[in-house]
């Protein structure tokens, strides 16, 4: 059996075990109790807020072939890294719950769908150097392309600032999910609660982006025009700023077990309000790796060259989620 199939089976078994343990452990406490709307279908709407957490890795390699040296060499050093991406969300959940099944544990079954607008920031996964505009090595200098030739001392190709690379990723705004599960009623400290083991699905999109900046100067000792002696004509210098950037987007699907605890807090006629807290884990069933690249050809005073950058962003096999919320249920008239 494949690794993905094994993970799917483990997640399904975990959800089933949660349901069985809940039914066995809470059935005695729930027997004989009366719960609002237990003989009706109960539609409800919840406002939920929480975070998702997932580890992401990034890597970039860049190469150059020049007419003066027709051998594949590194344009900038290879960079790799990883980070834990924590993304907050606030969204809505629609649920429909069956009437109570009059069997031990008195379960009710439910199906829900949700939309979770996510407010994630872009995170740098792998960085090398300080990619930006090419400039001289002294602090506070303008971009080299904005110099006017009045600098007294030239800067060399090896000392140029603004070289480097960065690989970033961000979970985009719209995240969707669905859940199926069972709800087991019990009482604690005279409060009516529901324990809700479930099996869920999540769908989200990741935007990955990469940037590589390199430089070639002719001559290598003078990247810009400079004037060593005031009153004399500027001496020539030339630089080529090699900038490769690319974006990629990919949707991911995850499935896995979850567990919610719901406490009834108030009732206003036919409408009941309850507080919700829960956690879920999702195994990513799609290919976790995003690959994208960019090529650029140059022909100028520094010669002819072909550049290429290859990026790789990998999301972890598992995404984790925690949330709290408030649910409003239509319980009907007594």
pTM of the model: 0.82
User: Pairing between strand 176-188 and 108-115?
Assistant: antiparallel
Length of the chain: 334
Contact 130, 187 (CB under 8 A): no
Q: State both tokens at 116.
A: 């979770």
What average pLDDT does the segment 257-286 reach?
94
Separation of alpha carbons 245 and 233, rounded Å:
37
Question: Could you identify the residue written with the tokens 């990247």?
Answer: 223
CA dihedral (24, 26, 32, 34) positive or negative? negative
pLDDT attached to residue 67:
86
User: How confident is the model over 133-173, as pLDDT tens digits?
Assistant: 999 998 888 999 999 888 888 999 999 999 999 999 999 99
Q: Residue 195 contacts by C-beta under 8 Å, 6 or more apart in sequence?
A: 22, 26, 183, 184, 186, 259, 260, 261
Q: In the chain, at which residue ranges do the beta strands (DSSP E only) sit?
A: 42-66, 69-74, 79-97, 108-115, 123-129, 164-171, 176-188, 191-217, 239-268, 271-284, 289-300, 303-315, 318-330
Separation of alpha carbons 51 and 46, rounded Å:
16
More confident residue, 9 or 79: 79
Separation of alpha carbons 122 and 332, rounded Å:
45
Question: Could you identify the residue written with the tokens 């059996």?
Answer: 1
Percent of the chain with pLDDT strictly greater than 90: 72
Number of C-beta neighbours around residue 26 at 10 A: 21
Closest to 223 (Cα-Cα) out of 303, 160, 163, 162: 160
* Mean confidence (pLDDT) of the chain: 88
Chain CA centroid to CA 117, Å = 13
Separation of alpha carbons 238 and 217, rounded Å:
6
User: How confident is the model over 94-111, as pLDDT tens digits?
Assistant: 999 999 998 888 899 999
What average pLDDT does the segment 42-58 reach?
96
Separation of alpha carbons 16 and 25, rounded Å:
14
Closest to 280 (Cα-Cα) out of 207, 181, 191, 186: 181
Check whether 115 has a pLDDT greater than 80.
yes
Check whether 75 has a pLDDT greater than 70.
yes
Separation of alpha carbons 159 and 135, rounded Å:
9
User: How confident is the model over 189-239, as pLDDT tens digits?
Assistant: 878 899 999 999 999 999 999 999 999 999 999 999 999 888 788 899 999
Dmax over CA atoms of the chain, in Å, equals 101
Q: State both tokens at 48.
A: 């939920």
What average pLDDT does the segment 167-180 reach?
96
pLDDT attached to residue 42:
94
pLDDT attached to residue 34:
57
């Amino acid at each position: 059996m494949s690794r993905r199939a094994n993970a799917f089976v483990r997640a399904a078994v975990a959800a089933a075990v949660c349901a069985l343990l809940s039914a066995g452990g809470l059935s005695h406490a729930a027997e004989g109790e009366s719960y609002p709307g237990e003989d009706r279908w109960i539609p409800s709407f919840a406002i939920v807020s929480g975070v998702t957490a997932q580890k992401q890795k990034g890597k970039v390699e860049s190469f150059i072939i020049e007419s003066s040296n027709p051998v594949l060499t590194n344009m900038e050093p290879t960079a790799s890294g990883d980070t834990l991406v924590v993304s907050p969300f606030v969204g809505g959940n629609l649920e429909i719950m069956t009437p109570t099944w009059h069997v031990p544990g008195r379960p009710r079954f439910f199906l829900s769908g949700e939309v979770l607008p996510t407010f994630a920031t872009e995170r740098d996964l792998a960085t090398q150097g300080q990619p930006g505009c090419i400039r001289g090595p002294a602090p506070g200098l303008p971009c080299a392309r904005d110099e006017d030739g009045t600098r007294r001392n030239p800067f060399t190709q090896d000392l140029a600032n603004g070289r480097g690379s960065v690989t970033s990723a961000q979970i985009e705004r719209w995240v969707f999910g669905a859940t199926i599960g069972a709800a087991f009623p019990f009482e604690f400290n005279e409060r009516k609660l529901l324990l809700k083991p479930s099996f869920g699905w999540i769908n989200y999109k990741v935007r990955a982006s990469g940037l590589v900046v390199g430089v070639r100067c002719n001559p290598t000792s003078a990247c810009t025009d400079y004037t060593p002696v005031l009153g004399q004509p500027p001496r020539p210098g030339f630089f080529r700023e090699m900038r490769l950037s690319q974006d990629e987007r990919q949707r991911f699907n995850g499935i896995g077990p979850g567990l919610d605890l719901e406490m009834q807090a108030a009732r206003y006629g036919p409408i009941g309000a309850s507080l919700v807290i829960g956690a879920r884990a999702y195994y990513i069933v799609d290919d976790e790796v995003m690959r994208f690249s960019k090529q650029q050809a140059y022909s100028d005073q520094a010669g002819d060259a072909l550049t290429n950058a290859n990026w790789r962003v990998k999301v972890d096999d598992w995404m984790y989620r925690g949330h709290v919320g408030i649910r409003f249920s239509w319980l009907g008239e007594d």
